[in-house]
Structure 1
């Protein structure tokens, strides 16, 4: 209809889904039924696009402790569901071990793979310095079994596949070292810094000086890879650093995201883009996973300083503290070098917060940018008073501290008829807020 405007209530066929019109007496062929299947797939894909891409549930990735070795790394993936940018659902029905050194021959499948641009992975082990990889889940299709035929030469039948299986595959995509050449891979901060490169904090910071304009549609390392080997049918699951000594870390939330539906307000990205909230939630999950890994690997976690391992902190986080047999961190040492209120350096000076307010504090903090530890800006640190009281009563609970971006509201405020005299805050505790 070039040159003419569409009239109200005038049907528009362009982009419509074409289904076969069945009626008695119509001659049907295999092609007709395939077209009907394609129409149903298109309906499902449009629903998937409305839901958004990302991980719906499950699909957690970790080393397989039973099978993993330095030369033949193996990951264990939990059952789950993901949706890719093409609107396809990818369901892993059972927990599965995946070897990162591939021996499977994709060319030996019965039918052509729908995911045609799935490049084969290099065989064998990787050498030291090979660097960083992204594990993804993607669709795959293959034929299964043979169907009986009528009217075809049984000695020359090539199209009698019984069923077509829409399955899935896992891919390991190498990230070009030029993408992180300015980062010191030997640094304790490497995991944190490459994770926040995936979050695109540099691009976000550069855009912050001009909030009137929209954010760029694409930013961060994951988006950069989409112009190369990362296809819209891939769903990123984990960032992996692998050398000849084996897997150095498996970081899920550096690239893994919750379902992100299209945003009707994307033209006002700085104010309303859902992607900001999804990324903030991923930052919090990435920090907690990184912290747990450090706690498990450290022989003396009470000597660990946050500034040695993190360049950026999420806008909200929870830090477990050492207590007798319960492993954790030392509050003064962990936050050493970070400006915070209070600044006296004693755990007893940290203000209390009602644990019932943590959800509200987290929700507000997620709306703020991550904490850049190179900037002398303070963060808020709290002790949940219910947790402190339980520890004092001798209950077997893990003591914790909670931190939030300094731009978040002050929550260390006693509320009438809801506070405890011995678990409340004096005016000095909250000074400077």
Structure 2
């Protein structure tokens, strides 16, 4: 039984003039058919070269387009030298561009530019130009052409075609305003974000490396981040946010350098330069003052808070925050911002404990850091806790000259305290479903907050950091694990271990076990926090240990450890 086939080319005779409607024919993807006795011409061999070239470019288009690595562009305004470092890129047409050596061109050398362009462009017009790296092929070497018949003459032709890359400028249809260069770059950062039409003006066999401004026939400034992007298939929301973040960080560095060279500080409004900010980015340290509760970078109607962050979590926070919308400073819409202060793990563990709020055992809320609210102008009082101001002063001094990180907070009901409302009346709400199992039930797909906490913080983990020194301590630890493993008790024990000095290690686990048995872990923690500076922890336990449920033998051991 024969099959009914719809072949790509079908039957050319049967299809007749409608062949282009039943088949997709690309003359560039035809190759020569070799057989013995065939006469080959230059056209046949060239056809195979074109075929192989097109197939390779198809593979390149599958990989995407952009900068694979290297190709760093720099500009010296005083000498006019534009320098491009070696690197690799793929063009939108799928062409692989590899630059093996540094390229340097003097944009003020009009004779050189005119000579490289066959006498054209001796004077560069005012405007904005895209700096590109493009593919070129150049005929090299000489080969003799023998006559085909007696009447023809001998001649000469190129023997080889050498592929290469060259740097060039492409004028853009964007006016260059009479404005500060930093403000122009900030405006272009917004206008060029995701502008596919502008990228369509660039040659198909070229990749953009940056943008240069020409005024009065001479280069004025270069932005090496605008227009360029890393290798990617199609620009999505995450890639556009990454472009915006990369351009913002480079421009912020230049703004701070420019201001400091002119005797100004980094305490300025973001809207002085920017109208659009990425959802996460650096900010000047001078624009934030957590000790006095002031920030000057974001508008007054923004809700700005500040909190410490582990240095090891910075990259994860950046990656997750890039999925949020950018911050539009021009529309007046209020935005929630958290300024994060990256600290080492050691510093974070020390200072974060001083900023924790007490948890609510009735609502079963876990301890959380106190987010200090910042205003454009300080509002007293700004520190809710007695030790809050001193803790932030220590954190800010410890942070040094590093730049804090701001993050746009997503709008979540849990964070904004927005409750649900009834949208329609006339029907009764269904009864809540019966809850089977409790917090310890591990059969669900979503863990409750107590289970999540206990996976990260528990008595065995605390014992690894504060190892019991004897059998009595190990027995007390075992009792705590068996009878007092609720998240609230573990959290209170953790904070007590952070506050009690190492010299009391021989009695600390027995003390935690007796306090937990007397339900006085929170009371002891409150006493530690309220302890006068001139009183030691041992003196505190000796004076009030009996009231907290500690036996006389344990109190005597505390007394023996006093210095």
* TM-score under structure 1 length normalisation: 0.68
Match of 1:385 in 2: 343
Q: 1:41 aligns with which of 36, 53, 62?
A: 53
Distance in 2 of aligned mates of 1:362 and 1:80 = 27
For residues 20-419 of structure 1, the aligned pairs below 5 Å read 20-63=32-75, 65=76, 68-69=77-78, 73-100=80-107, 101=110, 102-107=113-118, 122-126=121-125, 130-147=126-143, 156-159=154-157, 161-177=158-174, 185-186=179-180, 189-200=183-194, 220=195, 223-224=197-198, 226=200, 229-244=201-216, 247-262=219-234, 274-299=235-260, 300-319=264-283, 321=285, 335-337=297-299, 340-342=302-304, 350-374=306-330, 375=332, 376-386=334-344, 389=347, 398-407=401-410, 417=457
TM-score normalized with structure 2 length? 0.54
- 8 Å CA contact 2:190, 2:276 repeated in 1: yes
Partner SS state of residue 155, structure 2: coil
Partner of 1:430: none
Shift of 1:406: 2.9
How far apart are the structure 1 equivalents of 2:5 and 2:87? 44
Is contact 2:310-2:345 (8 Å) kept? no
1:158: how far off? 3.7
Shift in CA distance, 283/10, structure 1 to aligned 2, threshold 3 Å:
same
Contact 1:56/1:80, CA 8 A, preserved across alignment: yes
Question: What is the deviation of 1:294?
Answer: 2.0
> Alpha-carbon deviations, 1:24-57, whole Å to 9, x = none?
4332222211111101100011111111122222
CA deviation profile, 1:64-110 (whole Å, cap 9, x unmatched) = x4xx53xx722111111222221112221122113335233445xxx
Structure 1 stretches of 5 or more lacking a match? Answer: 1-6, 108-119, 201-219, 263-273, 323-328, 344-349, 423-433
CA 1:186–1:312: 2 relative to 1, 3 Å: same
Which structure ranks higher in relative contact order (CA pairs < 8 Å, sequence separation ≥ 6)?
1
Contact 1:365 1:408 (C-alpha < 8 Å) held by counterparts: no
CA distance in 2, matches of 1:155, 1:10: 47
- Whole-Å Cα distance in 2 between the matches of residues 245 and 30 of structure 1? 46
8 Å CA contact 1:353–1:382 kept in 2: the answer is yes
- Note the C-alpha offset of 1:243: 2.5
Q: Which moved more, 1:167-176 or 1:82-91?
A: 167-176
| 1:14 counterpart residue number | 24
Q: CA deviation at 1:282?
A: 0.8
Instruction: Confirm or deny: 8 A CA contact 1:238 1:255 kept in the other structure.
Output: yes
Judge conservation of contact 2:304–2:337 (CA < 8 Å) in 1: no
Count residues in correspondence.
348
Q: Are the aligned partners of 2:134 and 2:167 in contact in 1 as well (CA < 8 Å)?
A: yes
Distance 1:172 1:320, change over 3 A: same
Report the structure number with the largest CA radius of gyration. Answer: 2
Gaps (5+ residues) in structure 2? 10-22, 349-393, 416-448, 462-490, 499-563
Instruction: Tell whether the 8 Å contact from 1:318 to 1:403 is kept in structure 2 after alignment.
Output: yes
Kindly state the Cα deviation for residue 245 of structure 1 after the two structures are TM-superposed.
9.3
The answer to whether the 8 Å contact 1:188/1:308 transfers is: no
Q: Is the CA contact (8 Å cut-off) linking 1:306 and 1:335 kept in structure 2? A: yes
Cα-to-partner distance string for 1:219-253 (whole Å, 9 max, x where unaligned): x2x51463xx5332232221222324954432232
Root-mean-square deviation over aligned CA pairs = 3.9
The 8 Å contact of residues 283 and 314 in structure 1, kept in 2 or not, is answered as yes
8 Å CA contact 1:302, 1:333 repeated in 2: no
Determine if contact 2:213/2:219 at 8 Å carries over to the other structure. yes
Alpha carbons of 1:233 and 1:172: their partners in 2 closer, same or farther (altered >3 Å)?
same
